[in-house]
Amino acid sequence: MKKIYSFCFILMSVCISSAFAADAPAGGGLLSDLGIDPKAILVQAVGFLVVLALLWKFVFGKVGGLLEERRTDITTQLEQLKTDREELDRLTTETRQRLSEIETEAQTKIQDAIEQGNSERQQIVAQARQDAEEEITRARAEIQREKNEAISELRGVVADLAIDAAGKIISAELTPERHQDIIDASISRLSVDPN
């Protein structure tokens, strides 16, 4: 803009000096010889300066204001974009950190669940073993009881057989053949008689 002012000032100076030269005694001067009317140049220069002043006041001022306003808007938008980018970076960092924390928590919970599952499995296995041992102990006790009953019953049967055999031996004279018959009869009763 300063260049425009300088150019206008030089142009006006030339016009004014030409106008004064035109008021000089007629005798021709360089401008007259060239066919230049200094008064017309002066009027045009003044008109140009008036138009320039009006343009400067009403057009260039508003355009400059609009340009400055636009520059301010762009600067503000750039600053807002910078602020938004910084906020986005901060949020991204926080999100990554939170995801890392969530993953760590998930791994911890999974490990805790595995440990709890193993503990419960061991408790179930221990309880099953204890129940099996108790069942085996009960079965052994039952077998021993039935065995004792069977032995007791067998003793009774053997005692009856011995008494019966002794009675027969006492009542009859024993010969080797008779002795063998008594033993065979006792054995056959033993296998036939379930008691």
pLDDT one-digit tens code per residue, 26-81 = 445 777 778 888 788 888 888 898 888 888 877 777 787 888 889 999 999 999 99
Amino acid identity at 192 = V
pTM given for the model: 0.38
pLDDT tier, 22 (very low <50, low <70, confident <90, very high otherwise): very low
User: 4 by DSSP, 3-state: which?
Assistant: helix
DSSP H or E run through 20: helix 2-22
Token pair listed for 51: 């138009």
Residue 45 near residue 11, CB atoms below 8 Å: yes
Task: State the DSSP string of 129-178.
Answer: HHHHHHHHHHHHHHHHHHHHHHHHHHHHHHHHHHHHHHHHHHHS---HHH
User: 27 by DSSP, 3-state: which?
Assistant: coil
Interatomic CA distance for residues 133 and 186, integer angstroms: 43
Interatomic CA distance for residues 107 and 110, integer angstroms: 5
DSSP H or E run through 61: helix 61-171
Interatomic CA distance for residues 42 and 20, integer angstroms: 10
Kindly report, residue by residue over 89-114, the tens digit of the pLDDT: 999 999 999 999 999 999 999 999 99
Q: How much of the chain, in percent, has pLDDT values that exceed 90?
A: 39
Interatomic CA distance for residues 15 and 20, integer angstroms: 9
Give the dihedral sign, CA 179/185/190/195: negative
143/170: higher pLDDT: 143
Crossing angle of the two packed helices 176-192 and 61-171, in degrees rounded to 10? 150
